[in-house]
Amino acid sequence: MESGLDHRSARALLDWHIALGADECIQDSPVNRYELPDAAPVSARKVAAAAVAAPEAPRMPQAARVVPMAQVDPVAEARRAADAAADLPALRAAMEGFALCDLKRGARNFVFADGVPGARVMIVGEAPGREEDLEGRPFVGPAGQLLDRMLAAIGLARDAAQAQAVYITNVLPWRPPQNRDPEAGEIAMMRPFLERHIALARPEILILMGNHACDALLHRKGILRLRGTWAEAAGLPVMPMTHPAYLLRNPAAKREAWADLLAIQSRLRGAQ
């Protein structure tokens, strides 16, 4: 069948296909690639180009093989980066630049902390939610608003003077997809940063909000059993509490949360 193209038009069309990256012709009949040998076919143009570029390249001996690069240990890399941070701004930069946590790729904002560094009370939550991811601050959604009211009931606030202030962060600085729970590997990866964060913030008391905060620092779960009982982590007294999001779903549990807040208030007054 005649194509109707003269030789100049055909040559122009061929040059256009080459410019788009086409380097071989399509055959008239389909090829069953399951019947082809394991080695991938190489076009004659590529073979010729390789021969011109390196006509005397030595062949690799038959016994030689490529040794894969050693797998990077994300926990060890996180520990190295965290230990190198001399202050909170340096730690923030190290965490924000940490590229081995895949959560970073799907989150909109990095969420570091809020409140007053050096406050007597440091609160550790689990991970940013939708509102936190949008705003770049921890505990700003409905659960965060409830947390602010809970703190105010015992004379604490994230924007108060040093003696009545709190400092707030999360185990994970990036929002997990669809607000799913943090995974064990993600917690282990970010734990060195959290431990360094506590050391640099230097609080007197830690409040762990929810199961995953307890998992990160106490290596234990079961918040309904742990809450209300003082523990120790990072050399500091720790009060595990049910997460404010849980309290929103289960208002009857606010009574126990109030008892935990009173225990915290008593501990702070006793330490003055």
Under 8 Å between Cβ of 191 and 74:
no
Under 8 Å between Cβ of 133 and 175:
yes
Per-residue model confidence (pLDDT) at position 263: 97
Q: Is 173 within the bounds of a domain?
A: yes
Q: Give CA–CA dist 27/242, Å, rounded.
A: 67
Per-residue model confidence (pLDDT) at position 64: 45
pTM for this prediction: 0.73
Q: Is 103 within the bounds of a domain?
A: yes
Q: Answer whether residue 130 shows pLDDT above 70.
A: yes
Under 8 Å between Cβ of 210 and 242:
yes
What is the average pLDDT across 173-184?
96
Partners of residue 124 on adjacent β-strands: 169, 208
Q: What is the pLDDT of residues 12-47, one digit of tens each?
A: 777 766 766 666 666 666 666 556 555 555 555 554
Q: Which has the closest alpha carbon to 153: 233, 265, 249? A: 265
Q: Domain with 139 in it: what CATH number?
A: 3.40.470.10
Residue whose entry in the numeric block shows the structure tokens 């009370």: 121
Q: Is 39 within the bounds of a domain?
A: no
Q: Give CA–CA dist 82/172, Å, rounded.
A: 14
Percentage with pLDDT > 90 across the chain: 71
Q: How many domains is the chain built from? A: 1
Q: Give CA–CA dist 14/162, Å, rounded.
A: 74
What is the average pLDDT across 156-170?
95
> Which one of 9-13, 32-36, 175-179 scores highest in mean pLDDT?
175-179
Q: Is 187 within the bounds of a domain?
A: yes
Burial 235-245 (b: 16+ CB within 10 A, else e): ebebbbbbbbb
Q: Give CA–CA dist 239/206, Å, rounded.
A: 6
Q: Is 204 within the bounds of a domain?
A: yes
Q: Is 67 within the bounds of a domain?
A: no
Provide the 10 A C-beta neighbour count for residue 79.
17
Q: Is 4 within the bounds of a domain?
A: no
Token pair recorded at residue 135: 């705003």
Give the chain's largest Cα–Cα span: 98
The residue segments making up the domain with residue 238 are: 74-271
Q: Is 56 within the bounds of a domain?
A: no
